[in-house]
């Protein structure tokens, strides 16, 4: 969920989120929000979600922790 002045926006699979079970969140130094789920990694940037999974090179789709490299 995202809370803003306009209200609450709920994001799910239909919005591009890899999965509805969120394990971790990380905001990097550029302000991009990384979302670790039980079905892959999501990147929320400029109002858009990009999904990464084992098909994109992840070792596993369960993303429990996110660390900036």
DSSP 9-57: E---GGGT-S-S-EEEEEE-TTSPEEEEETTEEEEEETTEEEEE-GGGT
Helix (H) or strand (E) segment spanning residue 4:
strand 2-4
pLDDT in tens, 14-58: 999 999 999 999 999 999 999 999 999 999 999 899 999 999 999
Q: What is the structure's pLDDT at 68?
A: 87
pLDDT at residue 1 above 90? no
Q: What is the structure's pLDDT at 14?
A: 93
- Strand order across the beta sheet in which 40-45 lies: 22-27, 33-37, 40-45, 48-52
């Amino acid at each position: 969920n995202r809370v803003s002045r306009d209200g609450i926006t709920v994001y799910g699979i239909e919005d591009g989120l890899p999965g509805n079970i969120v394990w971790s969140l990380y905001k990097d130094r550029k302000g991009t929000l990384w979302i670790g789920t039980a079905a892959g990694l999501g990147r929320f940037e400029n109002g858009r979600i990009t999904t990464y999974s084992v098909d994109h090179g992840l070792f596993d789709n369960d993303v429990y922790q996110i660390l900036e490299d």
